[in-house]
Amino acid sequence: MAKAAEELDISQPSLSYAISTLEKEIGIPLFEKDGRNIKLR
């Protein structure tokens, strides 16, 4: 997430919040999270 946020020139918490909000809106998780690992579903 940190690298993605850096590429998008936004903070990591802002990116996490945006993803979380989108997941809630569409009703499904977009990523599988396992500790520090994350992958697209």
Say which residue, 26 or 2, is predicted with more confidence: 26
SS3 state of residue 30: coil
Domain extent listing, the chain: 2-40
- CA dist 26 and 22 (Å) reads 6
Per-residue pLDDT reduced to its tens digit, 3-37: 999 999 999 999 999 999 999 999 999 999 898 89
Q: Which CATH class is domain 2-40?
A: mainly alpha
Say which residue, 1 or 9, is predicted with more confidence: 9
Using DSSP bridges, classify how beta strands 37-40 and 31-34 pair: parallel, antiparallel or unpaired: antiparallel
